[in-house]
Structure 1
Amino acid sequence: MKQLLLEIDETTEAKINAAAKTAGLSAQQWLQQIIDEKTVTTWPNAIKALAGTWQDAPFSEELRAAEGQDISREDF
Protein backbone atom coordinates (compact mmCIF):
# COMPACT_ATOMS: atom_id res chain seq x y z
CA MET A 1 0.00 0.00 0.00
CA LYS A 2 1.29 3.47 -0.86
CA GLN A 3 1.62 6.29 1.62
CA LEU A 4 0.74 9.93 1.01
CA LEU A 5 2.08 12.86 3.00
CA LEU A 6 -0.53 15.60 3.20
CA GLU A 7 0.02 18.88 5.00
CA ILE A 8 -3.18 20.34 6.44
CA ASP A 9 -3.95 22.96 9.06
CA GLU A 10 -5.29 22.09 12.49
CA THR A 11 -8.82 23.18 11.65
CA THR A 12 -8.98 20.82 8.68
CA GLU A 13 -7.49 18.01 10.73
CA ALA A 14 -10.14 18.54 13.41
CA LYS A 15 -12.89 18.45 10.77
CA ILE A 16 -11.53 15.20 9.30
CA ASN A 17 -11.23 13.58 12.71
CA ALA A 18 -14.73 14.67 13.76
CA ALA A 19 -16.30 13.44 10.51
CA ALA A 20 -14.44 10.13 10.73
CA LYS A 21 -15.52 9.63 14.34
CA THR A 22 -19.15 10.39 13.46
CA ALA A 23 -18.96 7.83 10.64
CA GLY A 24 -17.35 5.28 12.95
CA LEU A 25 -14.21 5.12 10.82
CA SER A 26 -10.56 5.95 11.22
CA ALA A 27 -9.39 9.15 9.54
CA GLN A 28 -7.61 7.02 6.92
CA GLN A 29 -10.75 4.98 6.18
CA TRP A 30 -12.89 8.11 6.04
CA LEU A 31 -10.53 9.84 3.61
CA GLN A 32 -10.42 6.70 1.44
CA GLN A 33 -14.22 6.62 1.37
CA ILE A 34 -14.39 10.30 0.33
CA ILE A 35 -11.81 9.76 -2.41
CA ASP A 36 -13.70 6.69 -3.67
CA GLU A 37 -17.00 8.62 -3.73
CA LYS A 38 -15.52 11.61 -5.55
CA THR A 39 -13.67 9.61 -8.20
CA VAL A 40 -16.33 7.07 -9.13
CA THR A 41 -16.74 6.68 -12.89
CA THR A 42 -19.91 4.59 -13.01
CA TRP A 43 -23.43 5.01 -11.70
CA PRO A 44 -24.13 3.33 -8.34
CA ASN A 45 -26.25 0.15 -8.52
CA ALA A 46 -29.03 1.87 -6.56
CA ILE A 47 -29.31 4.47 -9.34
CA LYS A 48 -29.07 1.86 -12.13
CA ALA A 49 -31.93 -0.06 -10.50
CA LEU A 50 -34.23 2.96 -10.93
CA ALA A 51 -34.14 2.76 -14.74
CA GLY A 52 -37.56 1.81 -16.08
CA THR A 53 -39.30 1.95 -12.70
CA TRP A 54 -41.34 5.08 -13.39
CA GLN A 55 -44.00 5.84 -15.97
CA ASP A 56 -43.06 7.91 -18.98
CA ALA A 57 -44.71 11.30 -19.30
CA PRO A 58 -47.57 11.22 -21.80
CA PHE A 59 -47.18 12.87 -25.18
CA SER A 60 -49.09 16.07 -25.89
CA GLU A 61 -51.56 14.20 -28.11
CA GLU A 62 -52.53 11.97 -25.18
CA LEU A 63 -52.88 14.94 -22.84
CA ARG A 64 -55.15 16.81 -25.27
CA ALA A 65 -57.22 13.82 -26.44
CA ALA A 66 -60.15 14.62 -24.14
CA GLU A 67 -60.25 18.34 -24.93
CA GLY A 68 -62.24 18.10 -28.17
CA GLN A 69 -61.60 19.74 -31.53
CA ASP A 70 -60.25 23.23 -32.06
CA ILE A 71 -62.41 25.61 -34.07
CA SER A 72 -61.14 27.17 -37.28
CA ARG A 73 -59.60 30.60 -37.09
CA GLU A 74 -61.22 33.54 -38.82
CA ASP A 75 -59.64 34.87 -41.97
CA PHE A 76 -58.22 38.38 -41.78
Structure 2
Amino acid sequence: MKQLILEIDEITEAKINAAAKSAGLSIQQWLKQIIDEKTVSTWPDSIMALPGTWQDIAFAEELRADEGQNILREKF
Protein backbone atom coordinates (compact mmCIF):
# COMPACT_ATOMS: atom_id res chain seq x y z
CA MET A 1 0.00 0.00 0.00
CA LYS A 2 1.30 3.46 -0.90
CA GLN A 3 1.59 6.37 1.49
CA LEU A 4 0.71 9.94 0.68
CA ILE A 5 2.06 12.99 2.46
CA LEU A 6 -0.28 15.94 2.27
CA GLU A 7 0.37 19.37 3.73
CA ILE A 8 -2.80 21.14 4.83
CA ASP A 9 -3.59 24.09 7.04
CA GLU A 10 -5.08 23.72 10.51
CA ILE A 11 -8.58 24.75 9.44
CA THR A 12 -8.68 22.11 6.72
CA GLU A 13 -7.35 19.51 9.14
CA ALA A 14 -10.12 20.36 11.60
CA LYS A 15 -12.73 20.06 8.85
CA ILE A 16 -11.38 16.64 7.80
CA ASN A 17 -11.29 15.41 11.39
CA ALA A 18 -14.85 16.58 12.04
CA ALA A 19 -16.20 15.11 8.80
CA ALA A 20 -14.51 11.74 9.37
CA LYS A 21 -15.74 11.59 12.96
CA SER A 22 -19.28 12.55 11.87
CA ALA A 23 -19.22 9.76 9.28
CA GLY A 24 -17.93 7.27 11.83
CA LEU A 25 -14.80 6.63 9.77
CA SER A 26 -11.09 6.97 10.29
CA ILE A 27 -9.46 9.84 8.46
CA GLN A 28 -7.89 7.38 5.99
CA GLN A 29 -11.24 5.71 5.31
CA TRP A 30 -13.01 9.06 4.92
CA LEU A 31 -10.40 10.42 2.51
CA LYS A 32 -10.49 7.20 0.47
CA GLN A 33 -14.28 7.43 0.28
CA ILE A 34 -14.11 11.03 -0.96
CA ILE A 35 -11.45 10.16 -3.55
CA ASP A 36 -13.48 7.15 -4.73
CA GLU A 37 -16.62 9.30 -5.08
CA LYS A 38 -14.82 12.05 -6.99
CA THR A 39 -12.96 9.75 -9.39
CA VAL A 40 -15.74 7.35 -10.32
CA SER A 41 -15.70 6.54 -14.04
CA THR A 42 -19.03 4.73 -14.33
CA TRP A 43 -22.60 5.58 -13.43
CA PRO A 44 -23.99 4.07 -10.20
CA ASP A 45 -26.35 1.09 -10.58
CA SER A 46 -29.24 3.24 -9.32
CA ILE A 47 -28.78 5.58 -12.30
CA MET A 48 -28.21 2.79 -14.81
CA ALA A 49 -31.55 1.25 -13.77
CA LEU A 50 -33.53 4.42 -14.63
CA PRO A 51 -33.88 4.23 -18.44
CA GLY A 52 -37.19 2.69 -19.39
CA THR A 53 -38.76 3.16 -15.96
CA TRP A 54 -40.93 6.10 -17.05
CA GLN A 55 -43.37 6.49 -19.87
CA ASP A 56 -42.36 8.71 -22.78
CA ILE A 57 -44.42 11.85 -23.26
CA ALA A 58 -46.30 12.45 -26.48
CA PHE A 59 -44.88 14.58 -29.28
CA ALA A 60 -46.31 18.08 -29.77
CA GLU A 61 -48.32 16.94 -32.80
CA GLU A 62 -50.02 14.24 -30.73
CA LEU A 63 -50.78 16.64 -27.89
CA ARG A 64 -52.35 19.17 -30.28
CA ALA A 65 -54.27 16.66 -32.42
CA ASP A 66 -57.65 17.44 -30.82
CA GLU A 67 -57.26 21.22 -30.83
CA GLY A 68 -58.47 21.83 -34.38
CA GLN A 69 -56.94 24.10 -36.99
CA ASN A 70 -55.23 27.41 -36.40
CA ILE A 71 -56.89 30.44 -37.94
CA LEU A 72 -55.02 33.07 -39.90
CA ARG A 73 -54.22 36.26 -38.05
CA GLU A 74 -55.20 39.56 -39.51
CA LYS A 75 -52.39 41.70 -40.85
CA PHE A 76 -51.35 44.90 -39.09
Higher relative contact order (CA 8 A, sep 6+): 1
Q: Paired residue for 1:65?
A: 65
In structure 2, the residue corresponding to 1:12 is in which secondary structure? Answer: helix
What CA RMSD, in Å, does the superposition of the two structures yield over aligned residues?
A: 1.6
Q: Paired residue for 2:39?
A: 39
Q: Paired residue for 1:17?
A: 17
For 1:5, the aligned partner's letter is I
**Displacement of 1:66:** 1.3
Q: Paired residue for 1:5?
A: 5
State the alpha-carbon separation in 2 of the partners of residues 29 and 73 from structure 1.
Answer: 68
In structure 1, the residue corresponding to 2:13 is in which secondary structure? Answer: helix
State the alpha-carbon separation in 2 of the partners of residues 8 and 73 from structure 1.
Answer: 69
Displacement over 2 Å in runs of 4+: 69-74
Task: Report the TM-score, using the length of structure 2 for normalisation.
Answer: 0.88
